[in-house]
Every structure is written in structure tokens, then in C-alpha cells.
């Protein structure tokens, strides 16, 4: 065990359990299966949303990102409000769900069509901030 002060993450040889070892005295380890890891991610995400500082509100284009290539997605109308529900599958986090107002859904749809057709959306290029 290294003395980095950071938890150590180790996936077993069969890719079935994750062991997280915390550098306490004595060290403490948690062994988690896939369901437990998903529950940990979900719970930590909910708590992180309440912690300062918040994630940046705006995105600045042109940054390098670790993007998921052509993820599965599904869209449907919200039964109550008629807004768009957009579901995107991230292999790291599972299905993520977003509710878009009609205005935002229309703007996103228009922009995606322009990008797919390789037509400049505006003087700023192929992006729009919401």
C-alpha cells in the first residue's frame, strides 16, 4: 500500500468486484460488486450536487474531453408537461436522464441537424449555450 493519502482502487482479476482501500491506520477496505459500485456512484453524485463549490454552470467549447462515442439514447415526451425527456446511456454511469423544455429541445434539435449537415449554426460555430 502506498502512502499517497489517496484511496487505492483495484478491480479483481474476474472484473466482478472493486476493492477500495483507504490509507487509514489500520487501512480500511471495502469490497463492492457492480450493483454496490452503481449505488455508491449514485449516492455520491446526489451528495456532490449539494456540496460547494458547485460544478461550473457554463461550458466553454473547444476543451479536450473523454467523450463516449455514439452512446445509446432514447427520447420521449414527459407525460405531465409535454417537455422532452432525453435518456443517454453512459457506460460509466448507466442511464442519465434530462428534462428539456420545448424551447431547449427545439434549439438542440436544430443545432444537431445543422452539425449533422455541416452547416454553420451562427458566427460562433457549431455550438449553442443554453
Which phi and psi angles does 110 have, rounded to 5°?
Answer: -60, -45
Please report the beta strands in the chain, taking only residues with DSSP state E, as ranges in sequence order. Answer: 8-11, 17-22, 28-33, 73-77, 84-90, 94-100
pTM, two decimals, is 0.80
- CA–CA distance, 49 with 43 (Å, rounded to integer): 10
Q: Which three cell numbers stand for residue 68?
A: 463516449
| 17-49 pLDDT tens trace | 999 999 999 999 999 999 999 999 999 999 999
| 58-72 pLDDT tens trace | 999 999 999 999 999
Left (φ > 0), alpha (ψ -120 to 50) or beta: where does 57 sit?
alpha
Amino acid at each position: 500500500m502506498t502512502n499517497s493519502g489517496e484511496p487505492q482502487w483495484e478491480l479483481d482479476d474476474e472484473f466482478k468486484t472493486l476493492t477500495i482501500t483507504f490509507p487509514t491506520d489500520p487501512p480500511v477496505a471495502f469490497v463492492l460488486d457492480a450493483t454496490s459500485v452503481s449505488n455508491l456512484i449514485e449516492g455520491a453524485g446526489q451528495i456532490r450536487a449539494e456540496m460547494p463549490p458547485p460544478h461550473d454552470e457554463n461550458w466553454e467549447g473547444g476543451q479536450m474531453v473523454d467523450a463516449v462515442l455514439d452512446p445509446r439514447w432514447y427520447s420521449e415526451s414527459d407525460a405531465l408537461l409535454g417537455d422532452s425527456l432525453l435518456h443517454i446511456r453512459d457506460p460509466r454511469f448507466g442511464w442519465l436522464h434530462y428534462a428539456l423544455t420545448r424551447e431547449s429541445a427545439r434549439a438542440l434539435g436544430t443545432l444537431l441537424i445543422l452539425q449533422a449537415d455541416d452547416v454553420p449554426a451562427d458566427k460562433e460555430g457549431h455550438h449553442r449555450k443554453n
